[in-house]
Amino acid sequence: MTSSDVAAELNPVRVPKTAELVAGHLRRQIVRGELHEGDALPPEAELMEQFGVSRPTLREAYRVLESESLITVRRGSRGGARVHLPDSSVAGRYAGLLLQVRGATLDDVFLGRLVIEQAAARRAALRTDGEAAERLRAALAVEAELTHEPPRFAQAANAFHDTLVVVSGSQTLEVLYATITEVVASTVSHFLAAPYAGDDQPAENERAVKAHQRLIDLIAAGDAAGAETFWAGHMEIVRRVFLDLYGSTTVVELLS
């Protein structure tokens, strides 16, 4: 018996079910842009004929796509399946489940955010079209008007962080960041309200505005290394604030 024969016995090839093959075909059409947001899939009878499958098999394929939030199905005479483009909430739900199972802490998740944002700062500074600094200035202008309105300021500051990742120009960083944001959404909502009891909060907000302005200056100057280093230090300070507030809170405690 050859080594490949042994491997085949240990890892037998799984033949996909017909419903999975149908779901895979429709999924590829969505991913490739052949089907768009809100498009209605053809009638069941037409798809059954196209794929040579029974109605139960087609509906099983629908259930697969529904579980991935790629379609919604309405029953009845005016029913049918409509397409939805995937978004970060789908990845966030699965990531949240995996992090819960692994016992990840909120601090651990925030470290992931730190890594993404410092990479985004570097990439933003490498852009030569000036758009990154321009969009960040617009986000900062909103923050600067709200330093004495803590809850609204926190939302504006969060939008600044979101903008930083978007202007990095990396779809991968943007998706990863959105997934992490989805995982900690309920904590972020709590965090936005939690630290504002002290009278010094407006002063803290003004310091944050200055830090954000410093990052914009580095990005505008094209100083990629400086932007990355500065933002890593700033995000470490923010991480410590989260750690002081939530300690070793786990994701399973957070999302339960």
Residue 157, both tokens: 């500051």
Q: How high is the pLDDT of residue 217? A: 98
Please give the backbone phi and psi of residue 5, each rounded to the nearest 5 degrees, phi first.
-65, -40
* pLDDT for 34 beyond 80: yes
Arithmetic mean of pLDDT over the chain: 85
Q: How high is the pLDDT of residue 48? A: 95
Stated pTM of the model = 0.74
Q: How high is the pLDDT of residue 2? A: 63
* pLDDT for 65 beyond 90: yes
In 3D space, the residue among 156, 120, 129 whose CA is nearest the CA of residue 220 turns out to be: 129
Instruction: State the number of CA atoms in the 13 A half-sphere of 184 facing the CB.
Output: 24
Distance CA 157, CA 159 (A): 5
pLDDT tens digit sequence for 110-158: 889 899 999 999 999 999 999 999 999 999 999 999 999 888 888 899 8
Q: For residues 19, 20, 26 and 28, what is the CA-based torsion angle, rounded to 10 degrees?
A: -170
Q: How high is the pLDDT of residue 20? A: 94
Secondary structure class of 71 (helix, strand, coil): strand
In 3D space, the residue among 113, 95, 103, 96 whose CA is nearest the CA of residue 249 turns out to be: 103
* pLDDT for 18 beyond 90: yes
Secondary structure class of 81 (helix, strand, coil): strand
Average pLDDT over residues 229-247: 86
User: Highest-confidence range of 70-79, 110-119, 198-207, by mean pLDDT?
Assistant: 110-119
CA distances from 210 to 115, 149, 204, 206 (A): 21, 17, 10, 6
Secondary structure class of 35 (helix, strand, coil): coil
Q: Which long-range contacts (CB under 8 A, 24 or more apart) does 26-31 make?
A: 26/61, 26/65, 26/70, 26/71, 27/65, 27/68, 27/70, 30/70, 30/83, 30/85, 30/86
Q: What is the DSSP string of 99-147?
A: HHHTT-BHHHHHHHHHHHHHHHHHHHHH-SSSHHHHHHHHHHHHHHTTT
Distance CA 148, CA 203 (A): 9
In 3D space, the residue among 203, 227, 225, 204 whose CA is nearest the CA of residue 214 turns out to be: 227
Which helix (DSSP H) or strand (DSSP E) does residue 68 occupy?
none
As to burial, measured by CB atoms within 10 angstroms (0-12 exposed, 13-18 middle, 19+ buried), residue 69 is middle
Distance CA 85, CA 66 (A): 12
- Quickly state the pLDDT bin for 99 (edges 50, 70, 90): confident
